[in-house]
């Protein structure tokens, strides 16, 4: 009997509660009803000092990029506190990655705020058709005091995303792209891993020029807001010019390693038209270097006042090649010349590629052109905004020679350096030529120094 009374009492209480709620909703003015609702909600919330944010791995069956950012961010922090770690090596990364196992916590601190991250795994429910893909659904839960809610949303979450982006950029496997063979597979670019070992420490060039270039590069990558404020695309153009063998390609590799950028090696003779050139440009990634080596040999970019004469010569040469096509089918010079003739890229197309509207698509790009003959290039291509910095790489000087000594022979001083210092301005040897002499000495410093001095003296004698 007592049990029945208890159930009756509960039923009466529930009925009374529903009656009061309905009466309040029906008879109170809407403004007063909403005010009371907010008051009760505030009182209820005040009893819960903690707030939480859930970051699921998938959102509506699509991968959640923020989940990946959080996992990357925590990978560098959880190794000291987490008891169980998962070790992996992503395909696009050159480094090992530690990730937190599920049902573990990690304490983080940001600007005086204590935050707690935890990783959880729940089983997915199958849909009505009975199909179920992955049986697990992972999510991160971020817990913090609710009074820091605005700061977490406005400052901490962007901080996590920024750090994660930097970590991904530094740990990724960098690529060297080319457009020469890409069209065979229906792609604009094909790539291989970029592993060139050149650095600014090993580049044989004047130390003052080296420091000038490094300083310019640092300013470029740190001035996104400046470029935006002055209304310029976030890109910079370099022209490397000088005799063959002076280290232009080596400097390009050193710059790429210094900035940790991908390289797009653009072969202009493989570009069919100006529109094809534009497609290649917009398909490059941010934080990259676009390289055009020996631009004077790729296309006719000489002074436009000579274009008519040059075009007539090219037409005659093309006709001659076509007449002897069967005889020269295997001739590499013939194939190279035919590629040049078949390309319809014009000077205006190259100018628009470097400094047109489409060049502003993306950001933080470095465009580097190389040539052995700067005087052959049109002045319109050389102006600031297209080639902002002109870097002359000339014959080897004593400071560069000492770097070669250290790189190849492992020495920094030698008694024959004085002879080298006297001979270098006379013989005009390139760093590549000196390096080749050192290569034949098998790291024997005495033999290397004797051989290089003998080579210099023989050139002086030959010139006289």
Give DSSP secondary structure letters for 392-458: E--S--HHHHHHHIIIIIS-S--TTHHHHHHHHHHH---HHHHHHHHHTTTT-HHHHHHHHHHHHHH
The secondary structure of the chain in percent helix, strand, coil, rounded to multiples of 5, reads 50, 20, 30
Q: Which two tokens stand for residue 50?
A: 């903690």
| Listed residue (318, 350, 319) closest to 337, CA to CA | 318
pLDDT, residue 263, reads 95
pLDDT recorded at residue 199: 94
Judged on CB neighbours under 10 Å (0-12, 13-18, 19+), 387 is: buried
**Residue whose pair of structure tokens reads 């070992």 in the numeric block:** 197
Which helix (H) or strand (E) covers residue 38, if one does? helix 30-46
Task: Specify the pLDDT at position 342.
Answer: 53
Confirm if 453 and 423 have CB atoms less than 8 A apart: yes
Longest CA–CA separation in the chain, Å: 129
Q: Could you tell me how far CA 117 lies from the centroid of its own chain?
A: 30
Sequence-distant (6+) residues with CB within 8 A of 84 are 100, 101, 104
Domain ranges of the chain: 2-46, 50-171, 176-299+343-392, 398-463
- Give yes or no for a contact between 181 and 189, defined as CB atoms under 8 angstroms apart: no
Query: What residues contact 223, with CB distance under 8 A and at least 6 apart?
Result: none
Each of the 464 residues of the chain gets a pLDDT tens digit; together they read: 444 446 566 667 666 766 666 766 666 666 666 666 666 655 555 556 778 888 888 877 778 888 888 888 887 776 655 556 666 666 655 666 666 666 677 788 898 888 888 888 877 655 544 444 556 788 888 989 888 889 999 999 999 998 888 888 877 788 999 987 655 556 889 989 898 999 999 999 999 999 999 999 999 999 988 888 888 888 999 999 999 999 999 999 999 999 999 999 999 888 888 888 888 888 888 899 999 998 887 666 554 444 444 444 444 444 554 455 555 545 555 555 545 445 577 778 888 788 777 777 777 899 999 999 998 888 888 888 889 999 999 999 999 999 999 999 999 999 999 999 999 999 989 999 999 999 988 778 999 999 999 999 999 988 87
DSSP-derived 3-state class of residue 249: helix
Residue 399's closest CA among 206, 202, 203?
206
- Contact by Cβ (8 Å): 395, 428: yes
Strands 365-371 and 389-392: unpaired
- Per-residue model confidence (pLDDT) at position 211: 95
C-beta separation of 149 from 131 below 8 A = no
**Cα–Cα distance, 263 to 360 (Å, whole number):** 18
C-alpha dihedral sign at 201, 202, 203, 208: positive
Residue 279: name the closest of 188, 361, 186 by CA. Answer: 188
Taking alpha carbons only, the member of 193, 192, 210 closest to residue 202 is 210
Fold (topology level) of 176-299+343-392: Rossmann fold (3.40.50)
For residue 193, give both structure tokens: 């891993």
The reported pLDDT for the residue numbered 57 is 85
State CA 273 to chain mean position distance. 27
pLDDT of residue 20: 67
């Amino acid at each position: 009997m007592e049990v029945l009374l208890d159930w009756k009492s509960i039923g009466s209480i529930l009925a009374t509660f529903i009656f009061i709620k309905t009466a309040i909703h029906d008879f109170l003015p809407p403004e007063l009803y909403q005010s009371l609702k907010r008051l009760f909600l505030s009182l209820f919330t005040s009893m819960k000092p903690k707030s939480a944010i859930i970051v699921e791995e998938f959102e509506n069956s699509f991968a959640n990029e923020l989940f990946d950012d959080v996992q990357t961010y925590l990978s560098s922090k959880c190794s000291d506190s987490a008891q169980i770690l998962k070790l992996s090596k992503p395909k696009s990364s050159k480094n090992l990655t530690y990730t937190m196992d599920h049902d573990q916590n990690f304490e983080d601190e940001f600007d005086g705020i204590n935050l707690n991250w935890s990783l959880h795994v729940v089983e997915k429910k199958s849909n009505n058709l009975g199909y179920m893909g992955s049986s697990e659904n992972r999510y991160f839960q971020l817990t913090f005091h609710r009074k820091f809610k605005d700061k977490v949303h406005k400052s901490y979450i962007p901080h996590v995303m920024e750090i994660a982006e930097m970590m991904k950029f530094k740990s990724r496997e960098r690529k060297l792209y080319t457009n020469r063979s890409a069209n065979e597979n229906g792609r604009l670019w094909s790539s291989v891993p970029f592993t060139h070992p050149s650095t600014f420490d090993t580049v044989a060039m004047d130390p003052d020029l080296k420091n000038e270039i490094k300083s310019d590069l640092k300013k470029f990558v740190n001035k996104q807001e400046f470029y935006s404020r002055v209304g310029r695309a976030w890109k910079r153009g370099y022209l490397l010019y000088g005799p063959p063998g002076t280290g232009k390609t080596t400097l390009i590799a050193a710059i790429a390693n210094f900035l940790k950028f991908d390289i797009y090696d653009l072969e202009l003779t493989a570009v069919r038209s100006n529109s094809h050139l534009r497609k290649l440009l917009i398909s490059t990634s941010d934080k990259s270097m676009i390289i055009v080596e020996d631009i004077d040999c790729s296309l006719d970019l000489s002074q436009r006042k000579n274009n008519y004469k040059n075009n007539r010569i090219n037409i005659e040469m093309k006709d001659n090649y076509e007449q002897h096509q069967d005889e020269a089918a295997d001739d590499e010079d013939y194939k190279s010349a035919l590629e040049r003739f078949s390309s319809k890229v014009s000077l205006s197309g190259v100018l628009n590629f470097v400094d047109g509207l489409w060049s502003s698509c993306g950001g933080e790009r470095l465009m580097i052109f190389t040539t052995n003959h700067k005087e052959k290039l049109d002045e319109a291509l050389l102006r600031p905004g297209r080639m902002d910095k002109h870097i002359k790489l000339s014959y080897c000087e004593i400071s560069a020679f000492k770097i070669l000594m250290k790189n190849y022979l492992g020495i920094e001083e030698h008694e024959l350096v004085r002879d080298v210092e006297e001979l270098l301005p006379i013989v005009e040897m390139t760093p590549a030529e000196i390096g080749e002499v050192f290569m034949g000495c098998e790291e024997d410093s005495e033999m290397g120094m004797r051989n290089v001095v003998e080579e210099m003296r023989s050139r002086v004698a030959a010139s006289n």
